Amino acid sequence: MDIGFFGANHGVFDNPDSIERLATTAEGAGFESIWTGEHVVLIDPQKAPSPVPPETPFLDTVAALAFIAATTESIKIGSGIILLPQRDPIVLAKELASIDVLSKGRLLFGLGVGYVEGEYEALGIPFAERGPRATEHIEVIRTLWTQQQPAFEGRFTSFSGIQSRPLPVQKPHPPIHVGGMSTPALRRAIAQGNGWYGFFQNLDSTSAMLRNLEEIGKRVERPAELGKLEISVTPPGPVDADTARRFEDLGVDRLILMRGFKDMGGASNEDAVIRFLEETARELSLG
């Protein structure tokens, strides 16, 4: 099972020195991947379901991934997750293809729809359309990444007679990991994703989600070219070796670890997170 780390572009990791230290430490310790989070804006004053205080810094995902790519050599870099309905898919396809090129094929494209209505209101995007937009945007990006003469006719995006180069290094394209625990998100993962990403899931909830995926998979066709659905999970806190093995026994392919929401909100310090990486690497025998 692969081990990643979530939290590379927010909280105390809001400046180049701290991000470089985090990324190079994770790479040196044997972590397989490092992942960003995303909130383009935060609700002020904070109110549920917004997860963190409004003053929490969130560096742009694409900019952070590019920086991490430049300061590392081998660790995979993942978006965990890009709020896809809030993005122009044509622009995003170019940005992410560029990240894959600049990282020499290390991009993991994690996406989701989000759950904070006020963030959509600020961006002028109908909250009720986030599901259909995500479904269509995935296919827009896949089209631009794989077709020699890309053309698309959809509800939200249409184009023909264009090129968007360079294409990604990874073929047919960087892995697409669909996040979310709702039934539509699980259907989207099965029908369109290389993987499913469950955030803040413990052993019991992960087991339940995997059963849901299995049941939905009986009714939703999965294209053969997508292969086996890869399962990535972020538990709500640190895990020991025994807990990691139990996740693996459930069928989890990747744990993307974090210490907790205190790190996301900046209520921690850089040294503590670095110690967490080093201690986790020893506990799980990474590297």
In the chain (287 residues long), the average pLDDT of successive 10-residue segments reads: 97 96 98 97 96 94 98 98 98 98 98 97 98 98 98 98 98 98 98 98 98 98 97 96 98 96 78 96 95
Q: Which amino acid is residue 270, in one-letter code?
A: E
Q: What's the confidence (pLDDT) of residue 229?
A: 98
| Burial degree of 232 (CB within 10 A; 0-12, 13-18, 19+) | buried
- Residue 10 per-residue DSSP state: B
Residue 83's nearest CA partner among 118, 146, 48, 39 is 39
Q: Residue 132: its pLDDT value, please?
A: 98
Which residues form the domain of 252? 2-283
Q: How many helices (H) and strands (E) does the chain have?
A: 10, 11
pLDDT of the residue at 239: 97
Q: What is the CATH number of the domain that holds 33?
A: 3.20.20.30
- Distance, in Å, from the CA atom of 261 to the CA atom of 264, rounded to the nearest integer, reads 5
Give the number of other CB atoms < 10 A from CB of residue 245.
13
**Which is it for the CA torsion 98, 100, 101, 103, positive or negative?**
positive
Locate all alpha helices (DSSP H) within 126-238, ordered by sequence. Answer: 130-146, 183-192, 203-217
Tell me which residue of 78, 67, 60 sits closest to 19, measured CA to CA.
Answer: 67
| CA geometry: angle 142, 82, 41, nearest 5 deg | 140
Q: List, in sequence order, the alpha helices (H) in 34-106.
A: 61-71, 89-102
The pLDDT of residue 278 is: 98
Q: How many domains are contained in the chain?
A: 1
Find all residues with CB under 8 Å of 160, minimum gap 6, and list them: 150, 151, 152, 153
pLDDT of res. 19: 98
> Measured over all CA atoms, what is the biggest interatomic distance in the chain, rounded to whole angstroms?
54
Q: How far apart are CA 54 and CA 46, in angstroms?
A: 6
Prior bond to 184 cis, omega within 30?
Answer: no
Q: Residue 260's pLDDT is what?
A: 85
DSSP lists the bridge partners of residue 254 as 2, 232
CA quadruple 55, 60, 65, 71: dihedral positive or negative? negative
Q: Is the pTM of this model over 0.95?
A: yes
Residue 103: what residue type? Answer: S
